[in-house]
Structure 1
Amino acid sequence: METSPIERQTLRILFLASEPTNAGKLRLGNELQEVRNRLSTNSFFELKDRQAVKPDDVLQTILNYKPHIVHFAGHGQETGEICFEDEKGNSKVIPPDALASLFKLVNEYVKCVLINACYSEIQAKAISQFVPIVIGTKKEISDSAAIKFSTGFYTALDPDLSQKSLLKAFDSGCISIRFENLPEHLTPIIIEGLPEVRFSSEVDTAFLSIARPQGKVFDALIKGLSLTGKRMGVSDDIVLKILGEKITKMKLHSEGIEEYEKYLKDILRDEYPLSETSQLALLQLQNGLELTNEDVTGIKDKILSNKDNLTTAEKWYDRGNGQRTIGNIDKAIEYFSLAIEKDSDYSAAYYERGDCYDMKGNFDLAISDFTKAIEYNNKWEVLSNLRSAYFSRARAYHAIKTDDKDKRNELLNLSLADWNKTLELKSDQPEGFYGRGLVYIDLNKLTEAIDDFKKSYDLAPKDERKQSYILALSRCYYMLGQNDESSNWMKLYKGSKELSIDAFED
């Protein structure tokens, strides 16, 4: 079973600062700098800050960043409200229950809230309904003590996000205040959430180390978590319910990762770089699978990091075929051209690009590419080979229209030579005889055309394909004036509507 150590998870910390102009001056910049200094030595911490926070900013910032720890620095009132800023920079308070309800929406990832403001105990207790660890203050706290608490807290914090680590960090913060001989080391207070909230958080933390919910190691983990839940005072029913929900969610998440990765690889087989349409489709897929931006970034980093592997001649060739399949011929030509740039003697790429030019009616370019494919005769793919190149070039020569009789005869003879080579390489292909028969008609060699059409008829595996050969035979006999023989062949025709040889008069 794949595992990844818990300590390798990036612990995201969101520092929210609010200092209304009509409130006392605080040294919030100093506090932020101290926090940044303590975290900068450990690459498993990621810090984001937001200044002059307004009430509307809080939820949006948390939803966007998805932090594990939310740190608020600013003013608090004796009645428990936290002071944010309004549009003019003045103080605007939010009732404790209102701010607490916000964390009900984000407790899937927020595991600790630190309110480094005066009189924040009431607010901390309200939030603890939804978050496992909340830190506040019992009363007023000085700027110096608040900064020292933050310094000590982040000095001791481990990136494993465990409740044990958070409790240790809290004790370290209080000790840092004491080391400065400040009398406020008992002012900070730590409040543990409801048992089921703390247990749910413990499960989340433990699951960070498991890639898939299966195997003996996972069984041992579940047993340990069940015992932990009981020790926390959570009933057996609630333990089973929480574990069941988390396991189901983990399975769905794992399947979602695999599903997204599969679709991304499939799309990259058809195009690179990703078009705007594909990016929108992948965004819709991400939302449908309930994957985070972090999930998707990890998948894309893994797949897109090796750009050399994404831009090989073979990959461009595959994308060309993918685009042609969906009818995007110009894009297919672009990709086949990139394949040729990477590998100048890639016969299959020349052949497929030539086929695209043929589909657009640009027969001169098609013939040029078919000729290069034949000359190099190297690196063919499943859908192409030397015979198919002669076959396609024969059709392209025949398809060119010109009023110059000499030029027309030259093209017909070039086509005839390629049909001969095609049949030399594979003598049992009805389409080869049929194509050569059509050239014989234009060269006024009707007897030879009849011989080829009869071979096509005899070799054709499906009755519906024989209908084209029947019409060709009937037409040739009609052109020779052998109306009875023409009629006999026409009687075999089983098309969508009944025909007679009179149709050839048109």
Structure 2
Amino acid sequence: MYWRAACRTIADGAFPESSIAVLLREALRHYPGNAALLALAGEPSRQNSEVRVLCLAAQPGDKARLRLGAEYREIVRETRGSRVVPTIRQAVQYEDLDACLYDARPHILHFSGHGTAGGEILLEDHGGFGHPLGAAALARVLAAFGRLSAIVLGSCHTAAAARPLLAVSDVVVGASGPLHDICALHFTRHLYRGVAAGEPVARAFAAATAVLDGLGCPPHEFAIEEAA
């Protein structure tokens, strides 16, 4: 009844800056699995559709070693048997990005590795050392492959990159400051537990950060930005 009344009000011209399409899109953002809303939007049900996750890892030789293998084992373990399909690419260089995106055609992009104080992620160069990549450059590459549902940046200081990446993703998750290995593992485990259960990334994020404090990890280590 609420949605019918809201649609009728908009159709009557009460909110000229809005439209039925805008209202429907916003409703789907909050209730992505609702079959009635999907039918109104002319979209197939998402209940059984794949959610493809492209997991990119970089471990430059001039930086401290991280437990990236353990993090990806968590993603594989938590999503096994669900509609979430992870694709893992390691030792990623900048020029590998388009090939990885062509192969996986992801809905969610997950990066694990090091970040700089300025919010850049560190890929690898041809010598295996760090190659910084800023949010604007990453957004330009991603824009050629269509809009993503979410970008998860599991590296230090990447919350600074979140807002620019909203140009190509509905949700962007980053770390507010230094990110400890064990906290990254806990966060990844509980985030993808929620995604595998069918929750939108924003809700899975809220649940994952709620659990962190009891595990000895400050939940404010992580930040989320959502497109308006």
Instruction: Look up the match of 1:134.
Output: 172
Instruction: Look up the match of 1:5.
Output: 45
Deviation at 1:168, TM superposition (A): 1.2
Asked if 2 retains the 8 angstrom alpha-carbon contact of 1:45 and 1:159, the reply is no
The superposition leaves residues 236-288 of structure 1 with CA deviations (integer Å, 9 ceiling, x where unpaired) of xxxxxxxxxxxxxxxxxxxxxxxxxxxxxxxxxxxxxxxxxxxxxxxxxxxxx
CA distance, structure 1, for counterparts of residue 135 and residue 202 of structure 2: 23
Aligned amino acid, residue 166 of structure 1: V
CA distance, structure 2, for counterparts of residue 172 and residue 24 of structure 1: 30
RMSD, aligned α-carbons: 1.9
2:99 aligned to 33, 43, 60, which one? 60
The two structures have a TM-score, normalised by structure 2, of 0.77
Deviation at 1:159, TM superposition (A): 6.6
Aligned amino acid, residue 95 of structure 2: D
CA distance, structure 2, for counterparts of residue 17 and residue 176 of structure 1: 25
Deviation at 1:105, TM superposition (A): 1.6
Deviation at 1:173, TM superposition (A): 2.0
CA distance, structure 2, for counterparts of residue 120 and residue 147 of structure 1: 16
Structure 2 segments unaligned to the other structure (5+ residues): 1-38
Equivalences for 1:121-270 in 2 at 5 Å?
121-158=159-196, 165-182=200-217, 184-193=218-227, 195=228
Aligned amino acid, residue 146 of structure 2: N
* Higher helix proportion (structure 1 or 2): 1
Deviation at 1:157, TM superposition (A): 1.2
| Equivalent position SS for 2:56 | strand
CA distance, structure 2, for counterparts of residue 141 and residue 65 of structure 1: 27
Instruction: Look up the match of 1:78.
Output: 117
CA distance, structure 2, for counterparts of residue 84 and residue 176 of structure 1: 30
The superposition leaves residues 312-366 of structure 1 with CA deviations (integer Å, 9 ceiling, x where unpaired) of xxxxxxxxxxxxxxxxxxxxxxxxxxxxxxxxxxxxxxxxxxxxxxxxxxxxxxx
Equivalences for 1:276-287 in 2 at 5 Å?
none
Aligned amino acid, residue 89 of structure 2: R
Asked if 1 retains the 8 angstrom alpha-carbon contact of 2:55 and 2:87, the reply is yes
Pick closer, same or farther for the CA change 1:105–1:159 going to 2, 3 Å. Answer: farther
Instruction: Look up the match of 1:389.
Output: none
Structure 1 segments unaligned to the other structure (5+ residues): 196-506
| Equivalent position SS for 2:144 | helix
Pick closer, same or farther for the CA change 1:3–1:98 going to 2, 3 Å. Answer: closer
* Higher strand proportion (structure 1 or 2): 2
Identity within the alignment, %: 24
Deviation at 1:166, TM superposition (A): 1.4
Asked if 2 retains the 8 angstrom alpha-carbon contact of 1:11 and 1:159, the reply is no
2:57 aligned to 7, 17, 20, which one? 17
Asked if 1 retains the 8 angstrom alpha-carbon contact of 2:84 and 2:195, the reply is no
Deviation at 1:99, TM superposition (A): 1.0
Deviation at 1:27, TM superposition (A): 0.3
Structure with greater Cα Rg: 1
Equivalences for 1:104-503 in 2 at 5 Å?
104-108=143-147, 110-158=148-196, 165-182=200-217, 184-193=218-227, 195=228
Aligned amino acid, residue 105 of structure 1: A
Aligned amino acid, residue 188 of structure 2: S
Pick closer, same or farther for the CA change 1:8–1:26 going to 2, 3 Å. Answer: same
Deviation at 1:111, TM superposition (A): 1.2
Asked if 1 retains the 8 angstrom alpha-carbon contact of 2:78 and 2:196, the reply is no
